Each structure stands twice: as structure tokens, then as C-alpha cells.
Amino acid sequence: MNGYAYKLERRIDWFEIDFRGHVNNVSFIYYVQEARVEFFHKIGLMQSQAKEKEGPVLASITCNYYRPLFYPGKICVYSRVSEIKNTSFIVNHAIYNDRNEMAAEAKDILVYYDFVKENKLIIPDKLRMKLEKASNGNIVPPEPL
């Protein structure tokens, strides 16, 4: 894995701050969700899912926090597909602050799912090809300032 396939840039909003004066841990999960949805739009996954009665569902999300984020500020979330199995795939995310320091890393496990029969499915070849393209990119996080 060389680089990331997607980069989301966004500002930190005031409402994301908790009583300690830094970004609440739940907001990190929101950042990852926003990056995942935008990333899936970029690779064409959201468009096909809207037409089908099957698609990926989030089975698990984990987040390791390394440093706090503060308002005002900006963040970048870098995303890539890191593993593709028969019925599931993993998306890794790295959240960087505006000083180019890694603030957190997150891992999504998504399962390909039949929404009518309510069971998991083997990932179709067409989707597998899209995911393989999204497993490597040329977007590399910058060095800390």
C-alpha cells in the first residue's frame, strides 16, 4: 500500500467541541463516515447501490485516537480500501490536523448485504474491481510541520 485513494478536507465546526474544549470523540466517527460516503461516491459505489437491493453495510468501526483536535481548525481524512475478502472489505482512514499530525486512525469493516433476504452475499466481480482500484492511490499525507 503506497498511498491513499481519497482525501476529504473539511473545517472543524464549533458544535463538535465538548466541554473540555477539544473535538468530541464522536465527531471523529462522523468524519470517518463523511469520508467513507464521499469516497464511495468517488468510486461509483453509491450510485450503483441506490439502484440495487444489495450493497455494503457497516459491520464494525474502530478508532484509535492519538491527539486532540481543536476549533478553529481544519482536518484531512485520507481513505483507502486495505483488504477485500469474499463477503467483506476493509476501509482504513487516517485523520490529520492542520499541522499535518495524525490525530486518529480508523478501520471500517463492511459486509456486502442483500437487503431483501437480510443476509450477506459474495462481493460481485464488478464491485471487486472498483474496490481493487480504490486500494491504492497516490495521495500521501504530508509530513508534520
Residue 2: strand, helix, or coil: coil
Domains of the chain are: 6-133 (3.10.129.10)
- Tens digit of pLDDT at every position of the chain (145 positions): 458 999 999 999 999 999 988 999 999 999 999 999 999 988 888 765 656 788 899 999 999 999 999 999 999 999 999 999 999 999 999 999 999 999 999 999 999 999 999 999 999 999 999 899 888 777 777 666 5
Alpha-carbon span 59 to 76, nearest angstrom? 24
Task: From residue 77, give the alpha-carbon distance in Å to each of 54, 64, 119, 139.
Answer: 27, 14, 31, 11
